[in-house]
Amino acid sequence: MTTAGGTLVLAPPFQEPGRQRPPGPYTRLFRTPGARAFTVGNLIARLPMGMFAVSAVIMIAGARGSYALAGAVTATGLAATAVVAPWTARQVDRYGQARVAVPATALAVLGEVALLLCVRYDAPDWTLFASYAATATMPNTGGMSRARWAHIFKEATPGNAAALHTANSFEQAADELCFMLGPVLAAFLCSALFPEAGTLVGAVLLLTGVLVFAAQRATEPPVAPRTLAGSPLRVPGMAPMLAVFLATGAVFGSMEVVTIAFADGPAAGPVLGLQAAGSCVAGLAYGRARRSAGLVACLAAMTALMTLPLLAATTSGSLLALAGALLVAGMATAPTMVTGMGVIQRLTPAARLNEGMTLAVTALLGGVAAGSATGGWTVEHAGAAYGYGIPVVAAGIALALAGMTKARLP
């Protein structure tokens, strides 16, 4: 249904005769006109986000015999993304999703193809760094999808607030699912077909998904006049929230490195997948809740649950016990991210929403890099089991930061 102002809202659910149970929140969500179409395109485009880094490491290490070179190349891409991604998101807000996302994706795909060719034909090492840095123009498709939901449910009504909470929970669950399946698919393609297969398939999926997503113009947020939007960084409360995301990213980065070191073998992937699975399930369940929990409460739950892997690793040393602990600990991830992104949405001016959410993702990635480095150092100097103390400390820091700025947050 469309209001006089042109805003899409959920139509009242159709009640069949004799039917007792009304449709659930996700059923109502995807009855929104255009929602299914842009979601399909976004999911196709988002899956490669979990494929590219793994594919690059397998491809470069296999061809050049150096994991150090492979790691340095992917780190360069991460650093370039941290610089370029907010600028790309700013252009999306200024000129529209379709006008910017398609050419930005084309440039990123060219960078992936260039990397593939440089590896394949034994080009100098510096070309690998240059090629992978060119992929930094890849747009934040998850952020653009969340911006569409925020536009659809922008009217301040209880029904729209509940629907937006459900939509954000679905998007976080989709993030977890894609980052759980992406590395597995990449590793399978690179080993079953040829080393460049993961990068090639990922590039095709990314371009296809963005083209499908951008074609859905009915749900695209309108471009607002530049005079109505200031920089999200100037908004009171934004800087503290970015610090919270930085500390939260350190939880994820350290957990990944420490788990790989603790498992020390092919079981590391499935064990990490359990953590993502727990988060995915919790995200979908959280979306069915009638209201969102507070950020401080979510971070407190995350801090408490992050002690479970530490206890499992230090007391039993069993990989099976650790897997169960990670499954439960992961259940705090999605609610925390959903609630945190909700705060970012409320803080950010509507005309700069893509930029605001991309800044949060950039802070998260910076925390992942810092957490990975800290976790690796701890593993070498104290052992993998005690490395699980780093996620607990990082979650505690995020909780403290959120608690200190609670009064300033919406």
DSSP letters along 39-50, please?
Answer: HHHHHHHHGGGG
- Look at residue 263 and tell me whether its pLDDT is greater than 50: yes
pLDDT for res 38: 86
| Confidence grade of residue 247 (pLDDT, cut at 50, 70, 90) | very high
- Is the Cβ–Cβ distance between 390 and 323 less than 8 Å? no
How do the domains of the chain map onto residue ranges?
Answer: 31-223, 228-410
- Look at residue 371 and tell me whether its pLDDT is greater than 60: yes
In CATH, the number for domain 228-410 is 1.20.1250.20
Please compute the mean of the pLDDT values over residues 369-395 and round it to a whole number. Answer: 84
Is the model more confident about 22 or about 389?
389
pLDDT for res 17: 52
- The reply to whether 31-223 and 228-410 are identical in fold is yes
| Confidence grade of residue 7 (pLDDT, cut at 50, 70, 90) | very low
Q: Of 124-128, 340-344, 369-373, 379-383, which gets the smallest average pLDDT?
A: 369-373
- Look at residue 113 and tell me whether its pLDDT is greater than 90: yes
Strands (E) in 95-156, as ranges, are none
| Cα separation, 320 vs 380, whole angstroms | 23
pLDDT for res 230: 62
Please compute the mean of the pLDDT values over residues 318-333 and round it to a whole number. Answer: 89
Q: What are the tens digits of pLDDT across the range 372-383?
A: 778 878 887 888
* Nearest to 281, CA basis, from 328, 350, 340, 221: 328
| Confidence grade of residue 266 (pLDDT, cut at 50, 70, 90) | low
- Is the Cβ–Cβ distance between 170 and 178 less than 8 Å? no
**DSSP letters of 212-241?**
HHHT-GGGSPPPPPGGG---GGGSTTHHHH
Is the model more confident about 388 or about 169?
388
Is the model more confident about 297 or about 13?
297
- Look at residue 365 and tell me whether its pLDDT is greater than 70: yes
Q: Which residues pair with 404 in a beta bridge?
A: none
Q: Which residues, including other chains, have CB under 8 Å from residue 402's CB and lie 6 or more apart?
A: 240, 244, 295, 296, 299, 409
Distance between first and last Cα of the chain: 29
Indicate the length of the chain as a whole number: 410
Model pTM score? 0.73
| Cα separation, 256 vs 278, whole angstroms | 15
| Cα separation, 355 vs 35, whole angstroms | 22
- Look at residue 267 and tell me whether its pLDDT is greater than 80: no
Count, in order, helices (H) and strands (E) of the chain.
18, 0
pLDDT for res 10: 47
> How many beta carbons lie within 10 A of that of residue 157, not counting itself?
11
Percentage of the residues of the chain whose pLDDT score is greater than 90 = 16
pLDDT for res 5: 44
Q: Which of 50-54, 173-177, 197-201, 291-295 has the highest mean pLDDT?
A: 197-201
Please compute the mean of the pLDDT values over residues 55-63 and round it to a whole number. Answer: 80
Please compute the mean of the pLDDT values over residues 17-37 and round it to a whole number. Answer: 73
pLDDT for res 205: 94
pLDDT for res 1: 46
Please compute the mean of the pLDDT values over residues 266-292 and round it to a whole number. Answer: 75
Please compute the mean of the pLDDT values over residues 134-160 and round it to a whole number. Answer: 81
Token representation of residue 190 = 């690179």
pLDDT for res 67: 66
Q: Mean of the per-residue pLDDT values for the chain?
A: 80
Q: Which of 87-91, 211-215, 349-353, 367-371 has the highest mean pLDDT?
A: 211-215
Q: What are the tens digits of pLDDT across the range 192-241?
A: 788 888 889 999 999 999 999 988 888 888 876 654 556 777 777 788 88
| Cα separation, 398 vs 248, whole angstroms | 6
Is the model more confident about 100 or about 65?
100
| Confidence grade of residue 292 (pLDDT, cut at 50, 70, 90) | low
Q: 263-266 contacts: CB < 8 A, separation 24 or more?
A: 263/319, 264/384
| Confidence grade of residue 332 (pLDDT, cut at 50, 70, 90) | confident
* Nearest to 230, CA basis, from 90, 84, 363: 90
- Look at residue 168 and tell me whether its pLDDT is greater than 90: no
- Look at residue 147 and tell me whether its pLDDT is greater than 80: yes
The b-or-e profile of 317-355 (16+ CB within 10 A means b, else e) is: eebebbbbbbbbbbbbbbbbbbbbbbbbbebbbbbbbbb
| Cα separation, 301 vs 392, whole angstroms | 11
Please compute the mean of the pLDDT values over residues 136-142 and round it to a whole number. Answer: 86
Please compute the mean of the pLDDT values over residues 56-68 and round it to a whole number. Answer: 77
Query: What are phi and psi for residue 46, nearest 5 degrees?
Result: -80, -30
Q: Specify the fold of 31-223.
A: Growth Hormone; Chain: A; (1.20.1250)
* Nearest to 352, CA basis, from 268, 190, 230: 230
| Cα separation, 327 vs 308, whole angstroms | 10
